Amino acid sequence: MTAQVTDTSVRAAVALRGARLSYGDRVLWDGLDLDVAPGEFVAVLGPNGSGKTSLMRVLLGLQPLSGGTVHVAGGNRRIGYIPQQRALDPALTLRGRDLVGFGLDGHGWGVGWRGRGQRRARVDQALAAVGATRYADEPVGLLSGGEQQRLRVAQALVGDPEVLLCDEPLLSLDLAHQRVVSDLIDRRRREAGTAVLFVTHEINPVLPLVDRVLYLVDGRFRIGTPAEVMTSATLSELYRTNVEVVRVRDQIHVVGAQHVCEDEPHHVADED
Amino acid sequence: MENFFNLPLTFELLGYGFVQQMLIAGAVLGVVAGLLGPLVVTRKMAFAVHGTSELAFTGGAAALLVGVGVGYGALVGSVVAALLLGLLSRRDSDRDSVIGAILAFGLGLGVLFLYLYKGRSANKFGLLTGQIVSVGSTDLWLLIGSSVAVLAVLAFIYRPLLFSSVDAAVATARGVPVRALSVVFAILVGIATALAVQIVGALLVLSLMITPAAAAGRVTASPVKASVLAVVFAEVAVLFGILLSLAPGVPVSAFVTALSFLIYLVCRAFGGSRSRVVA
């Protein structure tokens, strides 16, 4: 599943060419070439401030590149976006199906009374696909974090996206729900060929799904399979310090890099 | 109070033009307040609405002093307030303190204007507690015109506005202009507030903008049903409030607030939607 940076780029779901992003003197990344093939799962890793979230913002069309080009198949509208789980207000006057419906036409002007039947059918379908039909009409704020996150997945999928941007979607979920949510994402890319960019600070929950890793550190980056990138040699080079990568059973643990393990939640909307 | 249930007197008063105008104004206001209310509640803007209404009072008082229609003054005051609140408080954390600071200053300014005003004292009191008797026909047309404008804009921005009210982060990611919408919505609320000040007074605007929506939110989680219910509740409160106030000659706002609070209590007591049906 490794896409080559050559003629296949026309068919890539996401294509970055010589992409550069800088704020004043500070260069977040430069010369970034990345093609994500349909159905490919790319994990985006790196410490805080390495520009993971900015990359998301670029792909969403919220942040212009300082140089180079970006192409997203079908345009920004065909991107499904799954944020990290954030508890919704328990008193919210909103049902699960309304939250999912936002993914379909929440950005559209007007009240949207036309095509309501079709809209309802698509929302029902998306709810069923993530197993949320049972609580679709409950007040969304009273659902558990795991249930809310399933609805977020349905919200991202209901628009039939070509690209799925996942921004720490497993954060603050328990292990069982982490599994449920990552399985739903995996199923989607296998069944519909949706490309997945998955920003995370913890690769292990999704390690079996990852085709390639984009690892960003202080303006340096490396792209490759987990076996290529997640090695002591590569990460030591990226962090410019002695980093030890330890493999325990099926897990990868990175030892010695400062800020490797970030616990700070972040969000595309928080950066201005 | 012996006139409390004096039906013949009520019917006689219904024949007067100013009473009919007040009922029309109330009915229009009920629709606007009922539709904006659920969004105000979702966006946790109850205090902002209160702050805006206090500045509508300041504007109305200034208009009295200058000799312009109170409705125009209230409109200018609350739109200025809405713009200030929309522009000053970008971060939620300092919104309350910004509102508090502006509100207090505006209210004080209004008190000064009323002190300087040498006209009828009933008008002074009415600005704060409702029932400005002279809802003239000019003001009625201003009220209807601005209501239609508010509803038209609301219909246009409703979906992205609800989206960004519920989930600003994801709405931003989907390309919804979240900040611009919040300023536009603040202006809509400002206009609606200015209208409400003329019926129930600056201190009691919340009874029409918040209470019906809060009541609706206790009985349904569907945004559309909540909007419909909030309109019904606001209409019941404002129209029956005006009718009941006619014979005893008590200020309208006393009945409007009582009715709207009663509806809220009933909805709270019997509202089943705020507990999960499916475990």
Q: What percent of chain B has pLDDT over 90?
A: 41
Q: What is the DSSP letter of B119?
A: S
* pLDDT average, residue stretch A238-257: 86
On the question of pLDDT at A209 being above 50, the answer is: yes
User: What are the tens digits of pLDDT across the range A70-94?
Assistant: 999 887 778 999 988 788 888 899 9
B65-74, B185-194, B199-208: range with highest mean pLDDT: B185-194
Give the β-pairing of A67-72 and A14-23: antiparallel
Which DSSP category does B219 fall into? H
B210 contacts in chain A (CB < 8 Å): none
**Is it the case that residue B121 has pLDDT exceeding 90?**
no
- Is A62 close to B155, i.e. CB distance below 8 A? no
pLDDT at B135: 54
pLDDT tens by residue, B50-85: 889 989 999 988 988 888 878 888 889 999 988 887
Summarize chain B as % helix, strand, coil (round to 5): 80, 0, 20
* Pairing mode of beta strands A163-167, A14-23: unpaired
Do the chains contact at B176 and A106, CB–CB below 8 Å?
A: yes
What is the spatial distance between Cα B238 and Cα B201, in angstroms, rounded to a whole number? 13
Examine residue B165 and state whether it is found in any structural domain, yes or no: yes
Contact B222/A98, CB-based, under 8 Å?
yes
Asked if A112 reaches chain B (Cβ–Cβ under 8 Å), the answer is yes
Q: Is the confidence at residue B212, as pLDDT, over 70?
A: yes
Q: Hey, which residues does A81 pair with through a beta bridge?
A: A165
A116-131: average pLDDT: 92
**Backbone CA torsion sign across B231, B236, B239, B245:** negative
Question: Average pLDDT in the B137-164 region?
Answer: 90
Helix A145-157 and helix A116-129, axial crossing angle in degrees, nearest 10: 130
B9 vs B3, residue with greater confidence: B9
Residue pair A78/A165 in contact by the 8 Å Cβ criterion: no
- The pLDDT score that the predictor gives to residue A256 is 76
Q: What is the DSSP string of chain A?
A: ----SSGGGGG-SEEEEEEEEEETTEEEEEEEEEEE-TT-EEEEE--TTSSHHHHHHHHTTSS--SEEEEEETT-GGGEEEE----PPPTT---BHHHHHHHHHHTT-SS---TTHHHHHHHHHHHHHHTT-GGGTTSBGGGS-HHHHHHHHHHHHHTT--SEEEEESTTTT--HHHHHHHHHHHHHHHHHH--EEEEE-S--GGGGGG-SEEEEEETBEEEEE-HHHHSSHHHHHHHHTS--EEEEETTEEEEES-TTSS------TTT--
pLDDT band at A19 (very low <50, low <70, confident <90, very high): very high
A187-191, B51-55, B90-94, range with the lowest pLDDT: B90-94
Q: What average pLDDT does chain A have?
A: 86
When CB atoms are compared, the residue of B41, B160, B221 closest to A106 is B160
Residue A9's pLDDT is: 47
pLDDT at residue A54 above 70? yes
Are A203 and A213 a contacting pair, CB within 8 Å? Answer: yes
Domain count of chain B?
1
Closest approach of A172 to chain B, Cα-based (Å) = 17
Q: Which CATH architecture has domain A7-89+158-255?
A: 3-Layer(aba) Sandwich (3.40)
Cα B93 to its chain centre, rounded Å, is 24
**Placement of tokens 């229009």 in the chain:** B28
CA angle B213, B214, B216 (to 5 degrees): 60
- Asked if pLDDT for residue A123 goes beyond 90, the answer is yes
Q: What is the pLDDT of residue A103?
A: 93
In a domain, B279, yes or no: no
Q: CB–CB of A23/A174 below 8 Å?
A: no
Q: Which has the minimum average pLDDT: A9-13, A122-126, A166-170? A: A9-13
Tell me the two tokens of residue A18: 């010589």
Asked if B178 and A269 come within 8 Å (Cβ–Cβ), the reply is yes
Which of B159, B169, B277 has its CB closest to that of A106? B159
pLDDT band at B126 (very low <50, low <70, confident <90, very high): confident
Nearest-CA residue of chain B relative to A269? B169
Whether residue A239 lies within 8 A of chain B, CB to CB, comes out as no
Q: What is the dihedral of CA B141, B147, B150, B154, to 10 degrees?
A: -150
* Listed range (A114-128, B124-138, B181-195) with the worst mean pLDDT: B124-138
Q: Which of B174, B4, B274 is nearest to A104 (CA)?
A: B174
- Whether A268 contacts chain B with CB within 8 A: yes
For residue B261, give the CATH number of its domain: 1.10.3470.10
Considering chain B, what is the average pLDDT of its residues? 86
Find the CB nearest B163 among A60, A62, A107: A107
Q: Is the pLDDT of residue B99 over 90?
A: no
More confident residue, B275 or A128: A128
Q: Domain range spanning residue B156?
A: 7-267
Asked whether the predicted pLDDT for residue A134 surpasses 60, the reply is yes
Which of A4-8, B12-16, B264-268 is predicted least confidently?
Answer: A4-8
Most confident of the following: A4-8, B118-122, B133-137, B142-146: B142-146
Cα A154 from Cα B31, distance rounded (Å)? 34
Q: Among A83, A91, A137, select the one facing B217 at the smallest CB separation.
A: A91
Please check whether residue A95 touches B, CB under 8 A. yes
pLDDT of A101 over the 90 cut: yes
A108 near B CB under 8 A:
yes
Closest CA to A161 of A189, A127, A123, A190: A189
A131 Cβ under 8 Å from any chain B Cβ:
no
The set of residues, in sequence order, having a beta carbon less than 8 Å from that of A134 and lying 6+ positions away, is B278
pLDDT exceeds 70 at position B149 = yes
A268 pLDDT band, cuts 50/70/90, is: low
**Binary contact (B167, A102; C-beta < 8 A):** yes
pLDDT tens, position by position, B219-238 = 999 999 999 999 999 999 99
